[in-house]
Amino acid sequence: MANHRFVPRGILKRVIAIYPGSFDPLTNGHLDLIQRGAKIFDELVVAILRNSEKTALFSVEERLEMLRTSTGHLPNVRIESFEGLLVDFARKSGAQAVLRGIRVISDYEYELQMAWMNRKLDPSLETVFMMPAGSYSYLSSRIVREIASLGGSLAGLLPPSVETQLRERLGVAPLAPK
Ligand code: PNS
């Protein structure tokens, strides 16, 4: 006779990952990674660091809004901000993984150092690296800010609303096409 007290339920694990960063501003490279992460993880929490030593161009509230507007179509993506250690925020969020993007090999050293340090702080938290599309391998928020401040074209590199906000913030009109 079957033991009715034992009901196999299969694997019930729900994997929550945190995708932390500055997102100053959000780029299409970030969005590409968010979309890839949303396919792999059950829930993806995109987390903007609040206590950055860097002086940001956009406030955390502006960045939260940018990210929420651009990820509204992804039901398993949540946008939040955090202060303090990433491992503490991950624990509070019930996350088992941290997602980070690696564009080119030079990213690897910094990312590896962070991943090792986070592992030392919390050995139960895994770091998962993913690659954005190759067409974004040269893209960064820093370079986007620089191109925008010099009036260069940012076609295809930012969500259109972010590009408008960036040009307004810097008070620079795009260069007329040649
Ligand atoms: O987009 P960025 O600026 O490369 O993101 C860096 C970030 C936010 C992931 C990193 O600075 C971070 O996690 N800061 C939180 C503080 C912390 O936990 N530091 C130890 C990590 S080694």
Residue 140 pLDDT > 60, yes or no?
yes
pLDDT at 3: 55
Find the mean pLDDT for residues 86-101.
98
Assess whether 30 carries a catalytic annotation: yes
Q: Is 28 exposed, middle or buried (0-12, 13-18, 19+ CB in 10 A)?
A: buried
Give the lowest-confidence range in 114-118, 145-149, 173-177.
173-177
Q: Which of 5, 13, 54, 178 is catalytic?
A: 54
Q: How confident is the model at residue 163 (pLDDT cuts 50, 70, 90)?
A: very high
Average pLDDT, the chain: 92
C-alpha to C-alpha distances, 57 to 5, 34, 130, 151, 170, nearest whole angstrom: 59, 22, 26, 16, 9
Lowest mean pLDDT among 5-14, 30-39, 46-55, 58-67: 5-14
CA of 33 to the centre of ligand 1 (A): 17
User: How many other CB atoms are there within 10 angstroms of residue 75's CB atom?
Assistant: 9
Q: Which of 27, 21, 8, 5 is nearest to 147 (CA)?
A: 27
Question: Who lines ligand 1 at CB under 6 A?
Answer: 20-22, 49, 85-86, 114, 117-118
